Amino acid sequence: GFLFYYVNRCDFNSTGLKDIEFTLSAYYNKLEIYRFSSSVGKFVGYTEYGVRQAKYFNDLPGEVARWTAEKETYCQHNIGNWYSNI
């Protein structure tokens, strides 16, 4: 069988919004096909299929805005929980 999955990641140095980066990566059979990074502000493709997908998502302003907002709604919201567990 084939395996397709997403990985969400928050990289941060402090709880300040400017120090947070949200990354969404899409994988197919352990190969990253495309990625969204809040610091880049768009999707980037790494395979032929991923480049087409990235272009499709980048042409949808709502999709880019949705994942850009995850930096605040997902990462910043949970950083307090992650810091308290360290």
For residue 75, the Cα-to-chain-centroid distance in whole angstroms is 11
CA distances from 73 to 4, 22, 68, 78 (A): 25, 10, 9, 8
**Cα–Cα distance for residue pair 71/39, rounded to 1 Å:** 10
pTM (2 decimals)? 0.83
Taking domain 4-84, whether its CATH number is 3.40.50.1220 is answered by no
The domain ranges of the chain are 4-84
User: Which amino acid does the sequence have at 53?
Assistant: Q
**Tens digit of pLDDT for each residue in 10-20?**
988 766 677 88
**Tens digit of pLDDT for each residue in 19-38?**
889 999 999 999 999 999 99
